[in-house]
């Protein structure tokens, strides 16, 4: 059971969920495969609501004088199968169904949701959310017009409800067998395959209405190896907004190899000596640096409230002119992509840093209105139980022109960070951290001793200004990154070319 208890500490952060206990779900109750091509009429039928109902509920939501209202209907079904001790021996599924009503009055928000979608229940919720306003004005009735999904970033070939558990099971079995076959030291493998499908119907008091079909898949393998009585674990994971066509022998092969590589290196790894030093961030998952060091602090709710360390930095040069950072909701099949965000704004690609200048915050409707600009389409929510807030999508740095070797060769003594599990940031103070699962020492311009399990801490604006070299090897990390903020989880991704940060504080022994 989930309650909306807010986390009041002004932090944000992300975690690779494949490395932790995976959520569990499985099978069943869905619409037909044709649903994904259908639009508003399908969705209204699916949720059992008519256009008249929607108009009545919107009118009730605004009856206390709110400026704006929206209705968000969601039907999500999730499936998970899990393998342990060599057999696919667990299955789970979850169905979540409901609708949320949001009312805005100035910068104030009223929110309520129901799990039983009847006109009476919806009207009750609308009147609860309406209480945020007290303006005594009346609002003209709206005409609802469909916003068609013009760019579908996650077209599905085979919907998850078209394939049965028995068709998914062999992939996990193959993954397990492959990992065991690759290295004699493998002792245990836990693998899990999760898929989810959401039907979303949205409408608002501006007359916009849309339907979106959102698929998601996550596949992960946790590998435990034993050598001379020492045990180490690591993991490999992938996640995309894709249908069952995601399941291929190639992805299984890649994950198996990656799980072995990431676990076996740990047996030779040491804890480094701690302190301030240069850090070369490897390509890919190092995007966690962007997510934590600047991404959260660029989310416009914190800037609107003047509580972000970047609140006075818009249009100012904040780092090296070779640096361009993007938050993108339009990458095909990316875990962070959105056709239309959760408050009716089209998915888009937003340059947040261009040639070293802070060019845009990440906006939802509320913050966009505050700044008098169009929303950047970052209004996202965990589910119908939550109100949308500014969230990242796929956050990455564009490629520069230095080779990774050149970069490493300039470091006399430092750290090369390869893989990460989690990070966190204090949005106002700017201190951010990320946990390095494995990497290397850099000594006299060369990678030498493997290292593991250390936290790295820095301060956002300073770390960004300390990026002195950007590699030519950009890579997106398609892991199971999940971002937490205000008690809401949201799927995201991150990417990065290799980059040299001239000074960060590395955890370690003294």
Partner 1 sequence: MITNENKKLAQWAMDFALKNGCQDARVSLYSGSNSSLEVRNMKIDRLQQATECSLVIQLYVDGRFGSFSTNRIDRKELESFIKNGVDSTRYLAEDTARTLPDASLYYKGGQPDLELYDPKAENVNPDDKVSLAMGTCEEIMGKDERIISAEASYSDDTEFKYMITSNGFEGESSASSFSLVSSVSIKGDGEARPSSYWYDSALFYDTLIKKGLGTKALERVIRKLGQKKVASGKYTMIVDNMNSARLLSPIMGALYGSAIQQKNSFLIDKLDQKIVSDKLFITDTPHIKRASGARYFDGEGVATKQMPVIEGGVLKTYFIDTYSANKMATPQTISGPSIINLQMGDKDTDGLIAATKKGILITGFNGGNSNSTTGDFSYGVEGFLIENGKLTQPISEMNITGNMLTLWSNLLEIGNDPRPSSSWKVPSLAFESVDFSGL
Asked if 102 contacts 69 with a C-beta cutoff of 8 angstroms, the reply is yes
Q: Which is nearer to partner 1, 113 or 396 (CB)?
A: 113
Asked if 74 contacts 384 with a C-beta cutoff of 8 angstroms, the reply is yes
Q: Which two tokens stand for residue 44?
A: 């209204």
Q: Which is nearer to partner 1, 205 or 330 (CB)?
A: 205
Beta bridge partners of 349: 328
Residue among 48, 115, 141, 157 that touches partner 1 (CB under 8 A): 115
Interface of this chain with partner 1, residues 212 to 271, rule: CB under 8 A: 222, 224, 226, 230-233, 271
CB of residue 118 to partner 1, shortest distance in Å = 12
Q: How far is CA 293 from CA 46, 193, 297, 479, in A?
A: 42, 31, 7, 19
Long-range contacts of 4-9 (CB under 8 A, 24+ apart): 4/385, 4/386, 4/487, 5/487, 6/486, 6/487, 7/484, 7/485, 7/486, 7/487
CB of residue 225 to partner 1, shortest distance in Å = 9
Look up residue 205 and give its DSSP letter. T
Cα R_g (the chain), whole angstroms: 24
Residue among 72, 202, 434, 481 that touches partner 1 (CB under 8 A): 434
Q: How far is CA 347 from CA 243, 359, 380, in A?
A: 20, 18, 11
Q: Which is nearer to partner 1, 34 or 164 (CB)?
A: 164
Q: How far apart are CA 213 and CA 160, in angstroms?
A: 12
Q: How far apart are CA 367 and CA 305, in angstroms?
A: 9
Q: Is residue 432 within the footprint of partner 1 (CB under 8 A)?
A: yes
Q: Is residue 440 within the footprint of partner 1 (CB under 8 A)?
A: no
Q: Is residue 23 within the footprint of partner 1 (CB under 8 A)?
A: no
Q: Is residue 94 within the footprint of partner 1 (CB under 8 A)?
A: yes
Interface of this chain with partner 1, residues 162 to 201, rule: CB under 8 A: 164-166, 169, 187-188, 190
Stretch in the footprint of partner 1 (CB under 8 A) among 63-71, 149-157, 397-405, 452-460: 452-460
Look at residues 399, 309, 392 and name the one whose alpha carbon lies nearest to residue 358. 309
Interface of this chain with partner 1, residues 409 to 428, rule: CB under 8 A: 421-428
Interface of this chain with partner 1, residues 374 to 403, rule: CB under 8 A: 385, 387
Given the structure tokens 């999940």, which residue do they identify?
A: 482
Interface of this chain with partner 1, residues 300 to 339, rule: CB under 8 A: 305-313
CB of residue 15 to partner 1, shortest distance in Å = 9
Interface of this chain with partner 1, residues 54 to 83, rule: CB under 8 A: 81
Q: Which is nearer to partner 1, 188 or 349 (CB)?
A: 188
Q: Which is nearer to partner 1, 30 or 468 (CB)?
A: 30
Look at residues 429, 471, 484, 423 and name the one whose alpha carbon lies nearest to residue 288. 423
Q: Is residue 45 within the footprint of partner 1 (CB under 8 A)?
A: no
């Amino acid at each position: 059971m989930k309650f909306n208890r807010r986390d009041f500490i002004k932090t944000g952060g992300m975690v690779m969920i494949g490395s932790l206990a995976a959520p569990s779900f499985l099978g069943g109750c869905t619409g037909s495969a044709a649903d994904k091509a259908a639009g508003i009429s399908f969705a209204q039928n699916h949720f059992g609501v008519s256009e008249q109902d929607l108009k009545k509920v919107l009118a009730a939501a605004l009856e206390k004088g709110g400026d704006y209202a929206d209705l968000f209907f969601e039907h999500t079904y999730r499936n998970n199968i899990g393998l342990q001790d060599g057999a696919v021996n667990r299955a789970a599924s979850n169905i979540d169904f409901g609708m949320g009503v949001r009312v805005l009055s100035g910068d104030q928000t009223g929110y309520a949701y129901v799990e039983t979608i009847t006109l009476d229940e919806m009207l009750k919720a609308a009147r609860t959310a309406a209480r945020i306003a007290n303006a005594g004005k009346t609002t003209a009735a709206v005409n609802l017009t469909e916003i068609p999904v013009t760019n579908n970033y996650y077209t599905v070939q085979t919907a998850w409800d078209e394939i049965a558990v028995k068709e998914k099971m062999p992939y996990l079995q193959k993954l397990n067998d492959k990992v065991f076959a690759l290295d004699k030291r493998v002792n245990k493998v836990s693998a899990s395959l999760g898929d989810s499908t959401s039907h979303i119907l949205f409408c608002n008091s501006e007359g916009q209405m849309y339907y979106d079909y959102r698929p998601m898949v996550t596949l992960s393998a946790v590998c435990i190896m034993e050598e001379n009585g020492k045990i180490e674990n690591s993991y490999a994971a992938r996640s995309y907004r894709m249908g069952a066509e995601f399941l291929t022998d190639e992805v299984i092969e890649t994950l198996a190899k990656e799980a072995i590589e990431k676990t076996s290196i740990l047996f030779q790894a040491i804890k480094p000596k701690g302190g301030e030093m240069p850090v070369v961030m490897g390509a890919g998952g190092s995007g966690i640096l962007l997510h934590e060091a600047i991404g959260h602090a660029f989310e416009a709710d914190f800037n609107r409230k003047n509580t972000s360390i970047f609140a006075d930095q818009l249009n100012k040069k904040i780092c090296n002119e070779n640096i361009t950072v993007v938050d993108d909701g339009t990458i095909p099949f990316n875990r962070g992509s959105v056709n239309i965000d959760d408050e009716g704004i089209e998915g888009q690609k937003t340059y947040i840093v261009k040639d070293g200048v802070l060019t845009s915050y990440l906006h939802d409707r509320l913050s966009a209105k505050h700044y008098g600009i169009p929303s950047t389409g970052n209004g996202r929510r965990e589910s119908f139980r939550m109100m949308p807030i500014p969230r990242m999508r796929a956050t990455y740095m564009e490629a520069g022109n230095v080779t990774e070797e050149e970069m490493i060769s300039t470091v006399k003594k430092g750290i090369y960070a390869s893989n990460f599990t989690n990070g966190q940031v204090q949005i106002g103070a700017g201190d951010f951290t990320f946990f390095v699962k494995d990497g290397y020492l850099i000594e006299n311009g060369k990678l030498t001793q493997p290292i593991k399990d250390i936290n790295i801490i820095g301060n956002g604006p300073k770390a960004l200004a300390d990026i002195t070299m950007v590699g030519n090897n950009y890579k997106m990390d398609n892991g199971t990154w999940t971002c937490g903020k205000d008690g809401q989880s949201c799927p995201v991704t991150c990417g990065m070319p290799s980059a040299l940060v001239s000074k960060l504080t590395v955890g370690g022994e003294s």
